[in-house]
Structure 1
Amino acid sequence: MRHKKSGRKLNRTNAHRKALMRNMARALLTHERIRTTEAKAKELRKVVDGLVTLALRDDLHSRRQAYKTLNNHQLVQRLFDEIAPRFKEAKGGYTRILKLAMPRRGDCAPMCVIELAREGEAVEEKAAEA
């Protein structure tokens, strides 16, 4: 029985799954929007939301924990200095998953776009209108 077992295995070994999530997290934080399968996007959401939560704490220990996942000092600096300040007032939901109408051509897998939600820009626009 599979009681209390969370997460998708994605038909990969543990090491392969870990590497996949690291690479996808790096790509998402670099480009702020990537196209992938629905199952991978839902798993990636957990990883990226955790990294943004770490970045909101903004201390040395958080930076070291983020580096453990990202393995890139420039990306950690970007996460803490540019991406996290956008979500200062947000209590979660740092990513958005948009399902695409057309499935993947080869195996008909459901595809989607995962992107960083733009919380900070929406707050600034409301302030400018008022």
Structure 2
Amino acid sequence: MPGTRKLGRATDSRTAMLRAMVTFLLENGKIETTVTRAKEVRSMAEKMITIAKEDTLHNRRMVMAFITKEAVANKLFTEIAPQYKERNGGYTRIAKIGPRRGDAAEMAIIELMPVETAAPAAEAAPAESK
């Protein structure tokens, strides 16, 4: 994990926290955390989704080396990654939700982007002209 922020933790603790947060994000679809942590989780989650877009044994082993639950890794390969087959990056979004009550740390929600369908684009085409 070169180039990650320190997040006030030792290397092993930081790695364990990021692995757990990425696993939880892929399992549940969204998490609430600080903005700084959300930016780090986004980086790692997008890398995992990009790797999982091609289902090979090597890619499965790379994902399993980072994701802490085998069921979540299988979900990543069978459900999540195929949804983003046509998309090059931008699988997650971060929405700021204001300061935390106790220490006023800036909080954010990081979530997986919804998959766009072609139907809404077709409905928007017929526009009235005046």
Structure 1 stretches lacking a partner, 5+ long: none
Residue pairs, 1:48-127, within 5 angstroms: 48-100=45-97, 102-118=98-114, 120=115, 122-126=116-120
Aligned partners of 2:23 and 2:68 also within 8 Å: no
Matched residue, 1:35: 32
- Aligned CA RMSD, in angstroms, stands at 1.6
Secondary structure of the residue aligned to 2:103 is: coil
| Distance of aligned partners of 1:105 and 1:76 in 2 relative to their CA distance in 1, 3 Å threshold | same
Secondary structure of the residue aligned to 1:69 is: coil
Superposition TM-score, scaled by structure 2 size: 0.88
Matched residue, 1:6: 3
Structure 1 runs, 4 residues or longer, greater than 3 Å off: 124-130
Identical positions, percent? 43
Q: How many residues align?
A: 123
Superposition TM-score, scaled by structure 1 size: 0.88
Cα deviations by residue, 1:57-116 (Å, 9 ceiling, x for unpaired): 21111011101111322111100000001101101011100011x301111000000000
Structure showing greater radius of gyration is: 2
More helix by share: 1
